[in-house]
Structure 1
Amino acid sequence: MPATRLIDRGVIRVSGEEARGFLQNLVTNDMDEVTPERAGYGALLTPQGKIICDFLIVALPAEDGGGFLIDCPLLQSADLMKRLKLYKLRAKVTLEDLTEACAVIAATDGAALPRDAGLVYDDPRLPALGQRAVTDRERGEALATGEPEAYHARRVGLGIPAGGRDFAYGDAFPHEALLDQLGGVSFRKGCYIGQEVVSRMQHRGTARSRVVPIVFDDGVAAETGAEASAGGKPIGTIGSGADGRALALLRLDRLADALAAGTAPLGGGLAFHLAEKPGFIRFPFPGEPGFGAAP
């Protein structure tokens, strides 16, 4: 059971009698579905519908004081705390940054973690990612025998985007980052910040850019952040890569046009092609039936 300590993650606790309702009015996922037995995946958006921060949310059992732990990107944790405090107003909610005291670990190979690893939960985005845990620093360091590179290589192989690597915070919409494919957006809950924009993209089918898995023809992935192009025209950005594969945020309509014209796409000057579509992705890839059709 190799586990990896994810040093690029922070932890925020949201507690108090109004914690669930407070988050329900802010985040993209349905907080009514988040229980001690089932974690959630969601995001906080700008009013314009762009991702400020995406995160995993874990409900604490009553015996542990209740409330929720937010497993979020470390570089976004200070901004997330700031924004949560801004929206708090008179809500009966307590906000605590536990990053210094806690560690986030994840199964490197998608397996289960020891039950005594801390607050252990199944990654809600995809079962194949296995389990994660929020624990204390000492316990986390003792359990973490796997390398972060191995965890991220598995993530890339499964086609799961990571914010800051595969899409830019403050610039990407949830559909572009695949939150709609990974259970990170509820289209049935009530209003939340940015909800109108997200719903409009869903119903009109206007998400032209998507993070998709790609394979480099020569087996060497381009650097993260390299430009993707076709026929000399930009079509997107290369994200995180491993073992000749990568994730890339691409304009799929422009990619389809290039492929139809017989033009090979390039990432950082290196030729690539779309990888086999992951099973969790429900929208059509270029060349598949239904691509480009009106919703």
Structure 2
Amino acid sequence: MTLIARLDSRALVRVAGPDARLFLHNLLTQDVEGLGEGELRFGALLSPPGRLLFDLFLWGEGDGVTLDVAADRRDGLIQRLSMYRLRAKVEIAADDRAVFTAWGEGPPAPGFVADPRLPGLGWRGLSAADPTADEPAWRAHELAHGVPGTPDSPPDKDYPIEANFDLLNGIDFAKGCFIGQETTSRMKRRGAIKNRMLPIRFDGPPPAFGAEVLLDGDRRAGEVRGGIDGRAMALLRLDRIDGLLTVDGRPIAVERPGWLLG
């Protein structure tokens, strides 16, 4: 059975015009010049120091690109893109269509495209569809696959590699320059990645956002991000995930998806 949910937490921004693809290509972590009609890619807009500002899905549509972004960050994205526009021949505007996602067994509904982050995660679509599930169910599905979402990364806090963008097809390291590229490429090149987001399991409701994860009762191992009953994402030090981990005195278990830690 295929489940479909409308994602009211997401909104769209349309970037159109003769320079649309080149304009975005020079800003985002993803290759935009090669984005085909109807194709979907995952990427981000970073701050100049290389921290994550906006996670994005990019749809190739007509003479431009439609960006799928967190609804509460759409105005900020439009403002940021407008600041970079300068003399580029582009138009940037909100798009009122809704975002849908689908997952489960069987083929997706017409108009849906495979989620580019992880095989088997599901599909996304912009065409109107009849929901058969709600957004919390989709969030639970993402967490079950160990995939972080927008609620797990406040703007300008994390590096994209810490949020696993390099493993979720969110960074094209061969595309050339993008904002924040120097820091991102250096982290990847040196292989000195100390922190990553990992899913954690526990009993009961999720700990508060930012709650400290402790190793053996007294060594800081990271902090909890967004979650649901029984499962959450946490930004953890990779050298401190083996041993007794607790949050607010509660034991937690780190899940290690095969796609993440091989």
Amino acid at match of 1:95: I
CA distance in 2, matches of 1:147, 1:56: 20
CA distance in 2, matches of 1:111, 1:20: 33
Which of 259, 267, 271 aligns to 2:251? It is 271
Higher-Rg structure is 1
Residue 132 (structure 1) aligns with: 124
Q: Which runs of 4+ in 1 moved over 4 A?
A: none
CA distance in 2, matches of 1:150, 1:97: 27
- Residue 37 of structure 1: CA displacement? 4.5
- Residue 129 of structure 1: CA displacement? 1.9
Report if aligned partners of 1:108, 1:150 keep a CA contact under 8 Å in 2.
no
- Residue 187 of structure 1: CA displacement? 1.1
Report if aligned partners of 2:103, 2:123 keep a CA contact under 8 Å in 1.
no
Deviations, residues 35-58 of structure 1 (Å, cap 9, x unaligned): 225311100011100011011001
CA distance in 2, matches of 1:245, 1:8: 20
Contiguous gaps of at least 5 residues in structure 1 = 285-295
Do structure 1's residue 68 and structure 2's residue 60 form an aligned pair?
no
- Other structure's SS at 1:97 match: strand
Residue 171 (structure 2) aligns with: 185
Amino acid at match of 2:115: D
The verdict on how the C-alpha distance between 1:29 and 1:110 changes in structure 2, with shifts beyond 3 A counting, is farther
Amino acid at match of 1:187: F
Which of 186, 211, 217 aligns to 1:200? It is 186
Residue 259 (structure 2) aligns with: 280
CA distance in 1, matches of 2:74, 2:117: 20
Residue 215 (structure 1) aligns with: 201
Do structure 1's residue 113 and structure 2's residue 111 form an aligned pair?
no
Residue 293 (structure 1) aligns with: none
Residue 30 (structure 1) aligns with: 31
Report if aligned partners of 2:43, 2:55 keep a CA contact under 8 Å in 1.
yes
The verdict on how the C-alpha distance between 1:31 and 1:224 changes in structure 2, with shifts beyond 3 A counting, is farther
Q: % of aligned pairs identical? A: 35
Report if aligned partners of 2:241, 2:254 keep a CA contact under 8 Å in 1.
no
Deviations, residues 70-115 of structure 1 (Å, cap 9, x unaligned): 01111111111101000001101111111xx211111143654321
Report if aligned partners of 1:103, 1:134 keep a CA contact under 8 Å in 2.
yes
Report if aligned partners of 1:211, 1:249 keep a CA contact under 8 Å in 2.
yes
The verdict on how the C-alpha distance between 1:156 and 1:97 changes in structure 2, with shifts beyond 3 A counting, is same
Contiguous gaps of at least 5 residues in structure 2 = none
Structure showing the higher strand proportion among its residues = 2
Amino acid at match of 2:76: D
Which of 178, 200, 212 aligns to 1:227? It is 212
- Residue 268 of structure 1: CA displacement? 3.2
Amino acid at match of 1:30: D
Which of 99, 103, 108 aligns to 2:98? It is 103
Amino acid at match of 1:85: S
Amino acid at match of 1:34: L
Deviations, residues 229-264 of structure 1 (Å, cap 9, x unaligned): 2222332222233452322111122335xx2xxxx1
Amino acid at match of 1:93: V
Could you say what the CA RMSD is over the residues aligned between the two structures, in angstroms? 1.8
Deviations, residues 190-210 of structure 1 (Å, cap 9, x unaligned): 111100000111111222110
CA distance in 2, matches of 1:17, 1:121: 25
1:161-176 equivalence runs, <5 A? 161-163=148-150, 165-176=151-162
Do structure 1's residue 153 and structure 2's residue 148 form an aligned pair?
no
CA distance in 2, matches of 1:123, 1:90: 33
The verdict on how the C-alpha distance between 1:154 and 1:110 changes in structure 2, with shifts beyond 3 A counting, is farther
